[in-house]
Amino acid sequence: MKPIEAINDFVIKFANVNGSGSASANELFAKAILRMGVPVSPRNIFPSNIQGLPTWYEARVCEQGYQGRRGGVDMMVAMNPQTWDADLAEIEPGGYLFYDSTRPIPASRFRADVQVIGVPLTDISNTAYTDPRQRQLFKNIIYVGALSVLLDVEAAVFEKLFAEQYRGKELLLDSNVRALHLGRDYVTQHLPAPLGIRVRRADRVGDQIFTDGNSAAALGCVYGGATVAAWYPITPSSSVPEAFQKYCDKFRVDAVTGQNRFAIVQAEDELASIGMVVGAGWNGARAFTATSGPGVSLMTEFIGLAYFAEIPVTIINVQRGGPSTGMPTRTQQSDLLSCAYASHGDTKHVMLLPEDPHECFEFAAAALDLADRLQTPIFFMTDLDIGMNQRLCQPFVWDDQRDYDRGKVMTAEELEAGKDFGRYKDVDGDGIPWRTLPGTHPTKGSYFTRGTTRDPYARYSERGPDYIYNMERLLRKFATAADLVPQPVLRPAALPTLIGVLYFGSTSPAMQEALDQLAAEGIAINAMRLRAFPFPASVKAFLDEHTTVFLVEQNRDAQMHSLLVNELSVDPAQLVKVLHYDGTPITARFIAGYIRKVLQARSLAQGKPNLKEAA
Partner 1 sequence: MTYLAKPALHHPTLTHNRVGYTRRDYEGRISTLCAGCGHDSISAAIVQACWELDIEPHRVAKLSGIGCSSKTPDYFLGAAHGFNTVHGRMPSVLTGANLANRDLLYLGVSGDGDSASIGLGQFANAMRRGVRMAYIVENNGVYGLTKGQFSATADRGSKSKKGVVNNDSPIDLVGLALQLGATYVARGFSGDKAQLVPLIKGALGHGGAAFIDVISPCVAFNNHGGSTKSYDYVRQHNEAVSRIDFITTRDEITADYPPGEVVEVEQHDGRHLRLRKLRQDYDPTDRYAALSYMNDHQARGEVVTGLLYLDPLATDMHSALHTTDTPLNTLGVKQLCPGDKALDKLNASLR
Which residues in the 300-319 window bind partner 1 by CB under 8 A? Answer: 301-302, 305
Minimum distance, C-beta of residue 398 to partner 1, in the bound complex (Å): 5
From residue 559, give the alpha-carbon distance in Å to each of 93, 296, 300, 485, 496: 37, 16, 18, 20, 29
Nearest to 528 by CA among 560, 562, 481: 560
* Whether 432 contacts 375, CB under 8 Å: yes
Binding status of residue 285 toward partner 1 by CB under 8 A: yes
Binding status of residue 275 toward partner 1 by CB under 8 A: yes
In this complex, which beta carbon is closest to partner 1, that of residue 34 or of residue 474? 34
Residue from 279, 326, 328, 593 in contact with partner 1 (CB under 8 A):
279
In this complex, which beta carbon is closest to partner 1, that of residue 54 or of residue 284? 284
Which residues from 465-524 bind partner 1, rule CB under 8 A? Answer: none
Which residues from 68-97 bind partner 1, rule CB under 8 A? Answer: none
* Whether 553 contacts 560, CB under 8 Å: yes
Q: Output the CA angle 571-336-552, nearest 5 degrees.
A: 55
Binding status of residue 272 toward partner 1 by CB under 8 A: yes
- Total residue count of the chain as it appears in this document: 615
Q: Per-residue string for binding with partner 1, 237-266, x by CB under 8 A? A: --------------xx-x--xxxxxxxxx-
Minimum distance, C-beta of residue 443 to partner 1, in the bound complex (Å): 6
In this complex, which beta carbon is closest to partner 1, that of residue 394 or of residue 574? 394
In this complex, which beta carbon is closest to partner 1, that of residue 211 or of residue 239? 211
In this complex, which beta carbon is closest to partner 1, that of residue 462 or of residue 571? 462
Q: Per-residue string for binding with partner 1, 378-417, x by CB under 8 A? A: -----------------xxxxxx-xxx-------------
Nearest to 193 by CA among 145, 234, 225: 145
From residue 501, give the alpha-carbon distance in Å to each of 518, 595, 603: 12, 10, 18
Nearest to 445 by CA among 461, 425, 429, 465: 425
Q: Per-residue string for binding with partner 1, 98-137, x by CB under 8 A? A: ----------------------------------------
- The neighbouring-strand residues paired with 212 are 390
The CA distance from 467 to 17, in Å, is 59
Q: Residues binding partner 1: what is the number (CB under 8 A)? A: 73
- Sheet (strand 377-383) strand order: 263-266, 228-231, 287-291, 313-319, 377-383, 350-352, 532-533
Q: Output the CA angle 114-117-119, nearest 5 degrees.
A: 155
Binding status of residue 227 toward partner 1 by CB under 8 A: yes
* DSSP-based three-state secondary structure for 9: strand
Which residues from 436-455 bind partner 1, rule CB under 8 A? Answer: 436-443, 446-452
The CA distance from 126 to 123, in Å, is 5
Which residues from 31-60 bind partner 1, rule CB under 8 A? Answer: 34
In this complex, which beta carbon is closest to partner 1, that of residue 109 or of residue 160? 160
Minimum distance, C-beta of residue 34 to partner 1, in the bound complex (Å): 8
* Whether 128 contacts 185, CB under 8 Å: no
Minimum distance, C-beta of residue 143 to partner 1, in the bound complex (Å): 24
In this complex, which beta carbon is closest to partner 1, that of residue 137 or of residue 306? 306
